[in-house]
Amino acid sequence: MTAQASSPGGPRPRVVVLDHGSGNVRSAVRALEAAGAQVELTADRDAGMAADGLVVPGVGAFAATVEQVRRVGGDRLVERRLAGGLPVLGICVGHQILFSAGEEHGVRARGLDQWPGTVTQLESPIVPHMGWNTVEASSGSRLFAGIEQERFYFVHSYAARQWELEPIPHLPAPLVTWAEHGGDRFVAAVENGALSATQFHPEKSGEAGLTLLRNWIGTLPRRAAAGGKVD
């Protein structure tokens, strides 16, 4: 599925939404198009490498999602893109699987291990966390520029409830945005070089979500014309 539209200022940046068999991702495709991208929903790794940006969506269980991503080679695609400094955005469970592991119903599954830490169940009186919530945007955030005080739409029972990545000398520190539900704080978004992710659904978060996607798209290098291959 590809949108061929272009903007008055030139071709739209190309974004691939990884089609790994997750639930309905059409809303993500439509939101990215509305935010100014030319979008393709595919699991083709060459297309994923050639794109200006890659989005990894996910709904449901951690273990099932990470298995689906690995089945289509998405883990390798993410690693290759990040090794080349090419932007990747994870959404919801696509955010969670970027951590080392996830624990659900007593089962521990290995994640993509881009960040240390384990995704665990929220310790809140009401689970799942479903609905609109504010965030504590990190100072200097590009994702949340102009929308620091807005609300975003969450649907989840599990989250990364600690940030465990130690600072790396001579490299900019990741920007971590937090949220709270029922007294339990959790990671709501991360901006770490080429890798960004949100626990909430920007595609379901109205104008604030569209602004966040526009902000992310605005950071993308225009490189699609040069192409890219995964060997």
CATH code, domain with 108: 3.40.50.880
In this prediction, residues 3-26 reach a mean pLDDT of: 77
1 lies in some domain = no
Q: How far apart are CA 37 and CA 8, in angstroms?
A: 13
CA distance 173 to 171: 6
Query: According to the model, what pLDDT value does residue 3 have?
Result: 39
- Tell which phi-psi region holds residue 21, choosing left (phi > 0), alpha (psi between -120 and 50) or beta: left
Predicted confidence band at 223 (pLDDT cuts at 50, 70, 90)?
low
Residue 53 belongs to domain spanning = 6-222
Q: What is the pTM of this model?
A: 0.92
130 domain residue, yes or no: yes
pLDDT of residue 9: 59
- Per the structure, the count of domains in the chain is 1
Give tens-digit pLDDT for 203-221.
999 999 999 999 999 999 9
User: Which residue matches tokens 């600690």?
Assistant: 162
Please, which residues have CB within 8 angstroms of residue 166's CB and are 6 or more apart in sequence?
none
Q: Is residue 231 part of a domain?
A: no
CB 122 within 8 A of CB 129: yes
pLDDT in tens, 93-110: 999 999 999 999 889 999
What is the side-by-side order of every strand in the sheet holding 158-160? 107-110, 99-104, 115-121, 158-160
With respect to residue 230, please indicate whether it lies within any of the assigned structural domains: no
Q: Which of 33, 40, 92, 156 is catalytic?
A: 92
pLDDT at 6 over 70: no
Those residues with Cβ within 8 angstroms of residue 15's Cβ, 6 or more apart along the chain or in another chain = 32, 37, 38, 39, 40, 51, 52, 53, 54, 55, 217, 220
Return d(Cα 195, Cα 174) in angstroms, integer.
10
Catalytic site includes residue 105: no
**Is 203 among the catalytic positions?**
yes
Whether residue 60 lies inside any domain: the answer is yes
Sorted by sequence, the CB contacts under 8 Å of residue 190 that are 6+ apart come out as 95, 98, 115, 174, 175, 176, 177, 196, 197
Residue 172 lies in a domain: yes
Confirm whether 228 is domain-assigned.
no
Residue 107 lies inside a defined structural domain of this protein: yes
Active site residue 201: yes
Mean pLDDT for 63-89 is 98
Separation of first and last alpha carbons in the chain: 24
